[in-house]
Amino acid sequence: MQRAAQRDQGDRRERRARRLSRVLACAAAAPVLLAAAGCSSDSGSDSGAKGGGDVTQEASAAASASASPSPTVQAAAYGKLPEPCAVLSKKTLGDLVPKGVKSGKEGASDDVSARASCNWSSLDNNGVKGSQFRWLNVSLLRFESDTARGSGEQQAKEFYAKQVQGAQSTDGAKNTKSEPVSGAGDEATAVRYDLKKKEGLFKQQTVVARVENVVVTLDYNGAGLAGDKTPDAGDLTKAAEKAAKEVVAAVAKANGDGGGAAPGAGQGASPSKSASGSAKPSKSASPSASKSASGAAKSPSPSASGAKEG
């Protein structure tokens, strides 16, 4: 009996010892599990944060890709115009308007860097033999690049075509002839015709030239009045073409683009060059220019009776 009791006590002590060992083992394992759980939790948080960042970046990239790019337009090559009454030399004026070299009158303009003009008149009175009348007008129109209207050069091309068409369709014109002119900018056309007026028969020459984003329109006419002979149309045309080339060269020189021969002389159309001050598109000068353009499509000559001797 005593041995049985001793064995029973020993068994109880052994069972308590095993339970204590299990408790201690669990207690020792708990920090490891917690640490593992903590690492797992941190890892999950990092993964989620990275995943969220990727989603945000992808959304931003998609938004940027879907946004349409800002419209751009090529800058205008020329940013200003020369003084209109100084575009021709005294020698040239002496050939075209011999009695009116100093008669130049500048046209009104609210922006001389976009549109300008000057006209001269000459009346060479030969007494009872009659008189020779000459009238010359130079008009300059510069187009600025605009995102809504396009490049200045393209606008100038369109206006150039309208000017040529306008000269070719002048009311009352007879014997109209057109021919291309070389060496006067990027493109040029001479239109000549006869126009009968109360003072006599006028020989009209219109030379339209474009250089980059500027259009030059030169009108020149002559008439023999009071019995004097009618001038030769061929001679007048040659003089007008020569003068137009001089004006084109003046436009280029005013913008620092050489100073001798007119751009385009002896070669194809020159590429557009960005001028300082026009490096970026600005508000177009063409809305105001268009107002002048509409009235410049046909440049009627003034009455010879209004001419004064120089």
Answer yes or no: do 94 and 146 share one domain.
yes
Q: What is the mean pLDDT of each run of 10 residues along the chain (310 residues)?
A: 54 62 52 44 46 54 53 89 97 96 94 96 89 97 94 96 96 95 97 93 97 98 92 95 98 80 42 35 39 45 50
Judged by DSSP in three states, 124 sits in strand
- Residue numbers of the domain that contains 107: 84-306
* Distance in angstroms between the alpha carbons of the first and the last residue of the chain: 160
Q: What is the pTM of this model?
A: 0.66
Q: Measured between alpha carbons, how far is 116 from 250 in angstroms, rounded to an integer?
A: 13
Answer yes or no: do 54 and 7 share one domain.
yes
Q: Can you give the pLDDT at residue 90?
A: 96
Answer yes or no: do 260 and 220 share one domain.
yes
Last residue in a domain, options 42, 67, 92: 67
Q: Measured between alpha carbons, how far is 112 from 110 in angstroms, rounded to an integer?
A: 6
Answer yes or no: do 154 and 283 share one domain.
yes
Answer yes or no: do 172 and 249 share one domain.
yes
CB atoms within 10 A of CB 228: 17
Last residue in a domain, options 67, 95, 114: 67
Answer yes or no: do 59 and 88 share one domain.
no
Q: Can you give the pLDDT at residue 296?
A: 44
The total domain count for the chain is 2
Q: Can you give the pLDDT at residue 292?
A: 44
Q: Can you give the pLDDT at residue 100?
A: 94
Residue 277 lies in a domain: yes
Q: Measured between alpha carbons, how far is 131 from 223 in angstroms, rounded to an integer?
A: 8
Q: Measured between alpha carbons, how far is 156 from 293 in angstroms, rounded to an integer?
A: 11
Residues 97, 101, 102, 103, Cα dihedral to 10°: 10
Q: Measured between alpha carbons, how far is 175 from 229 in angstroms, rounded to an integer?
A: 18
Q: Measured between alpha carbons, how far is 207 from 221 in angstroms, rounded to an integer?
A: 11
Q: Can you give the pLDDT at residue 61?
A: 54
Answer yes or no: do 218 and 105 share one domain.
yes
Answer yes or no: do 103 and 248 share one domain.
yes
Residue 72 lies in a domain: no
**Closest Cα partner for 132 from 47, 246, 232, 259?**
232
Q: Measured between alpha carbons, how far is 93 from 194 in angstroms, rounded to an integer?
A: 22
**Closest Cα partner for 251 from 10, 89, 117, 84?**
84
Residue 111 lies in a domain: yes
Residues 83, 85, 91, 92, Cα dihedral to 10°: 100
Q: Measured between alpha carbons, how far is 137 from 234 in angstroms, rounded to an integer?
A: 19
Answer yes or no: do 280 and 247 share one domain.
yes
Q: Can you give the pLDDT at residue 64?
A: 52
Helical H runs in the chain? 2-66, 90-96, 152-168, 233-254, 286-296
Q: Are 140 and 84 in contact (CB under 8 A)?
A: yes
Q: Can you give the pLDDT at residue 85?
A: 97
Answer yes or no: do 88 and 228 share one domain.
yes
Residue 201 lies in a domain: yes
Residue 300 lies in a domain: yes
Residue 75 lies in a domain: no
Answer yes or no: do 21 and 145 share one domain.
no
Answer yes or no: do 205 and 172 share one domain.
yes
Residue 27 lies in a domain: yes
Residue 3 lies in a domain: yes
